[in-house]
Structure 1
Amino acid sequence: MKKPALFIAAILFSTFFYDQTIGLNLFLFSILTIVILFINNQSQFKNRKTQIYSIAYLITGLTIFFHSSTLSIIANLVAFFTLIGHLSETKSSIYVHWLNGIYTTIAGLFHRNFALPKTETDEEEKTQIDYLHWAKIILIPTVILIAFIALYKDGNPVFSNIIETIDFGFINIQWLLVAGLGYYLFNNIYDPIEVEPATEIDLQTNNTLLKTEAFSIPKLKQENQLGVILIALLNVLIVLYLITDITFLASQQDLRASAYSAQVHNGINALIASIVIAIMILLYVFRGNLNFYKENTTLKRLAFTWIVLNILLVLSIVFKNSQYIYYFGLTYKRIGVIVYLLLATIGLVTTLLKINSAKNNWYLFRINTQAAFIILIISSTVNWDYHITNYNFNYAKSMDFNYLYNLSNNNTLLLNEQLASTTLDNNSIQLIKDKYNKYVYKLRTNNWQELQYDNFKLNTK
């Protein structure tokens, strides 16, 4: 069952991707990948996480059909590696899924045939399938046959005419090479493998922080005192900053765009860095035995307070960034700031949970990489080019038309709609028309493998 399925998958792979751009084909490939994986890993697909990762992978493939973007393609690739790696060991962490997924995709076939110790069953299979023997059977007779055909052509004009009438133009070497690549890929991933010792180490490492033999009350008392003084001072400093920041914003009844611009550019990077440093300081202070020191209650309360104050700092940055968006419009960088702040907030909350429950740093790494994966998948489903364009035309105080024009084709149909409802100069109107005409031509010349949702939207107009 395995070999026929792999050959069929290879033919479909080449049909989907040979000489085609990305569109419907990547979603069809996602379905095909899950079918191949299911054939050889049916028991793992009963696992709830496997089902969730499969759905996430299909969603990213479908997202590319609706709006092909770099982000959606990256999300699809990450989801692919995650699913492959998860099937290799369902209990490992997501970052180990990525490692196993990448390794399986690149070298799965070689690993299974050369890296693993051979059992008796493997040796029997190797005896039954002698690839060198099959290569000899195919290549040697073929080469000799071609040589004799060339000789006979010169010796008999009738035979030469028969040979020359045979047209091998229907054989597309490049198509066959792509099919070969597809066969190699599916042969790699049909039975995902583990990277050792990384997988084993991950499985053996739990999330709980343990007391070490270096536990010393006098030393921990000193560490606790240092931590209390340091974090108490940092709490005072951040409270002072938040008060001055709120005072400044409240005192400006009509804050100019230029003032917000200065605030954002001069302050946000430093504030974001301060949040990262805050997390690093807390991880250092609560890195070991201090978590089990009975007199650390004050230190923990100060740490929790500092985390909450840092979350308030995040909210202040969100407010400034939203005002910047209000004045100057949406861009990918301003959206990126929001995503980063979301990740920073998750990092602060999980740091609080780590301290409260005496978890180790592996816990933070595991839960935050999982959160990053979820945010990547969710964010890839949004047509950002469309929403950036829509917001900037309808809500922003000012708009950089050239920025919108240089976005991908995902906003082209919307730009064309703005011609009738928005006041634009003649140059901008002509640029939109040119972009629209080129995109419509591309859609109408798409093969079925390249179809996008916009093909159907265009046909309904």
Structure 2
Amino acid sequence: MMDFKKGLNGALLFAVLFTLLFHNQYLGLNILIIETAALLWLAFTKQIDFRNRNHLIFGSGFFITALAVVFVFSDYAVVMNFLALFVFVGILIYPQARSLVSSAKLSFFNIFYAQIRFMDAFFTGKLGSGKIARALWKFRIFSVPVIIISVFVMFYRISNPVFNRLVIKIFDSIEKFFDMMSFTLDFTLIFTFFFGLILCNYFFIRNTNEQTIKDDANASDEIVRIKRKRYWRGLTTGLKGELRAGVFLLIGLNAILLVVNSIDVYWVWFNFRWNGDFLKQFVHEGTYLLLLSIVCSILVVLYFFRGNLNFYSANKFIKGLCILWIVQNAVLTVSVGVRNFHYIRYFALAYKRIALIIFLVFVICWLYTVALKVLQKKSSFYLIRTNAFVLYILFISASVFNWDQFIVSYNFRNYKESFVDLDYNSDFSDKVLPELDKSQNELSEIDQMQQTKFHFDTELMPVAIFHNKIQRRKKEFIHKWESKSILSWNYPESQAYESLKRSESKP
């Protein structure tokens, strides 16, 4: 367990630093400053072991997402930074953790335990002199009488108009006092400090959960054979029946999926023809089928290969059927990817289409680990541990890309081939305003090409409204950026600002 006093000092110090960096500021350079300082503090106080692989991997993930907030500046990067923080706290609590699920549990419990331990230190006088804290703690005995007195005051006000006017005068005097105090007290500063204190308590005051650590340490990647006494010769009837049921089920599932995959390979892969309709349902149908098939594959493998069937000498046929089922799921995954490719080809890029690509990569990784479970007698713990790490890597890796710029640039560059939804593209973040800042001639050319190629019944955003919206957003962004301090600086918006200012200065 970590040194509590060291954690308490770190929490207080960084709560003050948090307040200085984030009070009346936007997210930006300040988040990189405080998280870099936190990592240096952990290294200086020897709370990071550079020989520990988990410390290096997840500490790096935490730092990478902080860089992404500043140099990519997306909502997704901010969310991933908090996710990386959440995981890293769990690793700091138990550096030998084998599964991210265990780290997540430890981190979640610490959200509450850290605040409780800080409050305990505050009220028991371990924090500074403790005189104010002890006085507040002793004052709790007066809370019930104060509530009762307040109730009676309310009753007397209703029944006695003179008394009511007197109470109103008292309340007016109190209100004036607080109005006067507002000139000297900045309540947003107080809120920022307490919010920062809660976060810093969570990060620096860490507590273990022995049961979670014990479960993680005792879990095995390999399935252990459970030997039972045999009361008659041969394989038990239950295991025989399970084997036959598994063979029957997998033959049926493989046959059905073979038909589905054959249709997809012929129609989707090699003979697809777009008839001018929206392809949203076309992609969704394949995705829903894939999800259903993946869930079935997980349940089938986890059930039939959960125990002694893994060690039965006559299990080669059912293993072969299971591997065939996994391979067919991989083919189905590729089919969904091809559907998504057609969707992008005719309807350009969007966040959900990119998210689907990342999901398909994860599915392929998941299927690979399921195959390893069957062939190498791996446990369910292995599946969860490995795929949680894969998911973490995919999430963190995705945070370093400027998807807004990639999507908008692709969509307007391919307007001759793909449908450009001006309404959708007009809502992208301020950092891509230079890419959205099209002249009326450019927009007219795009609209003319779109009218020629696409014919939809739905009402689309006119180019004039799009142009006016972007011009208004440009002015608002320039004003907002010029009012920001260096602590709120980020690279993409600084580049966008410089680009827009240059375009304004041109004749």
TM-score range, shorter chain: 0.7 to 0.9
Matched to 2:379, the amino acid is: N
Partner of residue 368 from structure 1, selected from 380, 387, 406 = 387
Aligned ranges for residues 36-185 of structure 1 at < 5 Å? 36-42=41-47, 44-92=49-97, 93-108=99-114, 110-111=116-117, 132-133=130-131, 135=133, 172-185=186-199
- Of 353, 378, 386, which residue of structure 2 is paired with 1:334? 353
Tell me the residue number matched to 2:327.
Answer: 308
Equivalence for 1:117: none
Cα distance between partner residues in 2 of 1:86 and 1:432: 45
* In structure 1, distance between residues paired with 2:218 and 2:262: 47
1:266 corresponds to 2:285: yes
Q: Cα distance 1:4–1:210, how it changes in 2: closer, same or farther (>3 A)?
A: closer
Q: Provide closer, same or farther for how the CA distance between residues 306 and 250 of structure 1 changes in structure 2, counting only shifts above 3 A.
A: closer
What's the counterpart of residue 481 of structure 2?
443
**1:189 maps to which residue?**
203
What letter matches 2:324 in structure 1?
Answer: T
1:290-305 to structure 2, matched below 5 A, reads 290-305=309-324
Report what 2:154 is aligned to. none
Question: Is the counterpart of residue 402 in structure 1 residue 423 in structure 2?
Answer: yes
* In structure 1, C-alpha distance between the alignment counterparts of 2:84 and 2:273, rounded to whole Å: 46
Residue number in structure 1 paired with 2:222: 208
Distance 1:40 1:251, change over 3 A: closer
**Residue 11 of structure 2 is aligned to residue 11 of structure 1:** no
CA distance in 1, matches of 2:252, 2:110: 50
Q: Deviations over 1:403-433 (max 9, x none)?
A: 1112232322321267675535322222221
* Structure 2 match to 1:118: none
Matched to 1:360, the amino acid is: S
Q: Kindly indicate whether residue 467 of structure 2 is the aligned counterpart of residue 429 of structure 1.
A: yes
Check if 1:352 corresponds to 2:371: yes
- Give unpaired runs (5+ residues) of structure 2: 139-180, 447-462, 503-507
Give the 3-state SS of the residue equivalent to 1:19 in structure 2.
coil
Matched, 1:454 2:475: no
What amino acid is aligned across from residue 479 of structure 2 in structure 1? Answer: Y
Whether 1:25 aligns to 2:30 is yes
The whole-number CA distance in structure 2 between the counterparts of 1:206 and 1:379 is 31
Equivalent pairs, count: 426
The 2-side partners of 1:188 and 1:52 are apart by 20
Quote the offset at 1:87 in angstroms.
1.1
3-state SS in 2 of match to 1:222: helix
When residues 51 and 421 of structure 1 are mapped into structure 2, their CA distance, relative to the original with a 3 A threshold, is farther
TM-score, normalised to structure 2's length?
0.76
Tell me if structure 2 keeps the 8 A contact 1:264–1:324. Answer: yes
Which amino acid counterpart does residue 388 of structure 1 have in structure 2? I
Cα distance per residue 1:288-343 (max 9 Å; x no partner)? 11111110011111111111111011111100111011111111222222222222
Q: Deviations over 1:361-385 (max 9, x none)?
A: 1111111111111111011112222
**Cα drift, residue 251 of structure 1:** 6.9
Question: Displacement, 1:357?
Answer: 1.3
Which secondary structure state, in structure 1, belongs to the residue aligned with residue 106 of structure 2? helix
Cα distance change, pair 310–129 in 1 and its aligned pair in 2 (3 A): closer
What SS is found at the alignment partner of 1:399?
coil
SS in structure 2 at match of 1:206? coil
| Cα separation, 2, equivalents of 1:369 and 1:223 | 30
Q: Which runs of 5 or more residues in structure 1 are unaligned?
A: 115-121, 141-166
Q: In the aligned structure 2, how far is the partner of 1:83 from the partner of 1:286?
A: 33
Write the distance in 1 (CA, Å) between the matches of 2:292 and 2:475. 45
Aligned-pair identity (%): 25
CA-based RMSD of the aligned residues comes to 3.1
Q: Is the 8 A contact 1:37 1:191 kept in 2?
A: no
In the TM superposition, residue 135 of structure 1 has moved relative to its aligned partner by: 4.2
User: 2:41 & 2:424 partners in 1: Cα distance?
Assistant: 42
Pairwise mapping of residues 175-254 of structure 1 onto structure 2 (< 5 A)?
A: 175-214=189-228, 217-218=235-236, 219-249=238-268, 252=271, 254=273
Q: TM-score scaled to structure 1, two decimals?
A: 0.83
Deviation (angstroms), 1:129: 6.3
* Change over 3 Å in CA distance of 1:419–1:436 after alignment to 2: farther
Relative to structure 2, which stretch is displaced further, 257-266 or 449-458?
257-266
Secondary structure of 2:277's counterpart equals helix
> Partners in 2 of 1:4 and 1:249 — Cα distance?
61
Contact 2:269 2:338 in 1 (8 A): no
Does the 8 Å contact 2:118/2:201 carry over to 1? no
Kindly state the Cα deviation for residue 168 of structure 1 after the two structures are TM-superposed.
10
